[in-house]
Amino acid sequence: MITPTRRRLSDAPFLAAATGGTPSRRPVWFMRQAGRSLPEYRELRAGVGMLESCFDPELVCEITLQPIRRHRVDAAILFSDIVVPLKAAGIDLDIVAGVGPVVAQPVRSAADVRAVPRLRREEVGAVTEGVRLLVDELGDTPLIGFAGAPFTLASYLVEGGPSRHHERTKAMMLADPDTWHELLGVLTDITIEFLRAQLAAGVDAVQLFDSWAGALPLAQYREFVLPHSERVFAEIADAGVPRIHFGVGTGELLGAMGEAGADVVGVDWRVPLTEAVRRVGAGKALQGNLDPAVLFAGAEVIEREVRRIAHEADEALALGATGHIFNLGHGVLPDTDPGVITATVELIHSLSSPL
């Protein structure tokens, strides 16, 4: 049972939209808002490795706060990385600049799966201390915790790093399903423990990133991924906070992702929100879905696209969605002008509240 002392944030627009309430304004936050596009972030991170940053509570706190100060978004997203719980558990990996996570000893066999260590709560103490610092600093701004979904974590472990085609991952999944499900079971346990640690420290919502699930057809997703994602959401349900589920290129999977148990389903830019609500089904909130590249197209185009998405969101609410949280369809791109992000937030806030 997760029973932390939580802040009273019932008036926060983000939480209202996520839980079927009526927000006082259109809520907006951006994936990867804490980081790469901000000059203050690059200055702070100079000479400091990514994983080193993620295990420094003061850096976690400061980096998470930077976009709140600059952009006035409606939620903070914890600065971390999806491989942090794997590193904390003792898996030999590093985040290599220009490459991404690289695993020293990939997981390719049943014996390798049995050797994967479990995560103990104290091993992410630096992360939870960062959460506690943030809870003290954020005032009435909600804090979103997050974790990588079991499938996405598995893809890094099996491939040994980022992969374009996920061929080794799919080969294990299809040719050795028993080993696959054993691996996903271990990673589900790690993900649950990592999220529970953040929840106990006081995060106000959580997002599960299944970054690479879009590489799968629907039938494989249902058989090899969905049961494990369902267990993640089921085992943190007692926390009573909004749970968000997001993947990239997952338009064909939205219906199944909607079944996994989250309260909010993130939608990338490829699927209109009016179509997304039909696929996900009524009774859930939607999050998204401005194409990150639009932020390079100039003020006129940005305003047109923001208004289009706001209109689609209102139509989705009429079709049965319980709320809408404005976001990008993926993360902020590194070369995005921070001033453009701030202006976009102001534009979103200026639009009339959703229906």
Active-site amino acid positions: 32, 36, 45, 81, 156
- Cα separation values, 42 from 14, 126, 295, Å: 28, 21, 20
Residues 113 and 220: their CA atoms lie apart, in Å, by 21
First to last CA, the chain: 35
Residues 285 and 263: their CA atoms lie apart, in Å, by 6
One-letter identity of residue 57: P
Q: Residues near 316 by Cβ (< 8 Å), separated by ≥ 6?
A: 273, 274, 276, 277, 286, 324
φ/ψ of residue 201, rounded to 5:
-80, -15
Is-contact 29 75, C-beta < 8 A?
A: yes
Residues 85 and 69: their CA atoms lie apart, in Å, by 28
Is-contact 32 64, C-beta < 8 A?
A: no
